[in-house]
Amino acid sequence: MSLRTFAGPALAVLFTLLLSACQTTTPGSMQGAVEVRSGVIEQITDVQISNTKTRGLGAVVGGALGLGVGSLIGGGTGRDVAMVLGTIGGAVTGNAVQRRNQEPIPGQDIIVRLTNGVLVSVTQEPTNLRVGQKVFIQGQGEDARVTPAK
């Protein structure tokens, strides 16, 4: 089998990966009820949050672009080799470019004592919250957010 036989399916897989890497979820898209807990802020610590929301996207985009450029070079087996090398080179270059642009962002680690006495830590982007303030914790896991109680 020649490399040309794999070029179509490889392009389809790269395109699918590219689309799935771009997919995002929004808080409003969650189905079902979201637990809301209440408490008082015990401590707020400034931290750096790693910016990894688009990890892998650079490699996928670079690989797809490399495949496209490689398909423009030569013909026959030489073209197939150029497409494979373009895909690999583009993926490596795209990943390197993306890593350079993923600097940490400022954040806060907020410790909340819930009304039942349990301590909960939530890391999020900076807000105007203060120690001793009554708050709600909305959501859970990475989607949890601390908001002021009204």
Question: Using one digit for the tens of pLDDT, what is the confidence trace for 55-99?
Answer: 677 777 777 887 878 788 877 888 888 888 888 888 888 777 776
In the DSSP assignment, the letter for residue 79 is H
Cα–Cα dist 127/143, whole Å: 16
120 and 108 both lie in a single domain: yes
User: Which CATH number goes with the domain that contains 146?
Assistant: 2.40.50.590
Which tokens sit at 148? 């002021």
* Domain co-membership, 123 together with 77: no
Strands 134-138 and 145-148 come out as antiparallel
Among positive and negative, which fits the CA dihedral 64, 66, 71, 72? positive
* Amino acid (one-letter) located at 12: A
Strand partners, 134: 40
Tens-digit pLDDT profile for residues 87-143: 888 888 877 777 666 677 888 999 999 999 999 999 888 989 999 999 999 888 888
Query: For all residues of the chain together, what is the average pLDDT?
Result: 77
Please tell me whether residues 60 and 73 are part of one structural domain.
yes
Pair 143, 113 in one domain:
yes
**Same-domain pairing of 56 and 98:** yes
Place of tokens 């670079």: 62
- 129 with 70, same domain: the answer is no
DSSP state of 132: T
pLDDT of the residue at 141:
83
Tokens of 57: 């996207």
| Structure confidence by residue, pLDDT tens digits, 88-101 | 888 888 777 776 66
Residue 90 and residue 57 share a domain: yes
Other Cβ atoms within 10 Å of 4 Cβ, number? 12
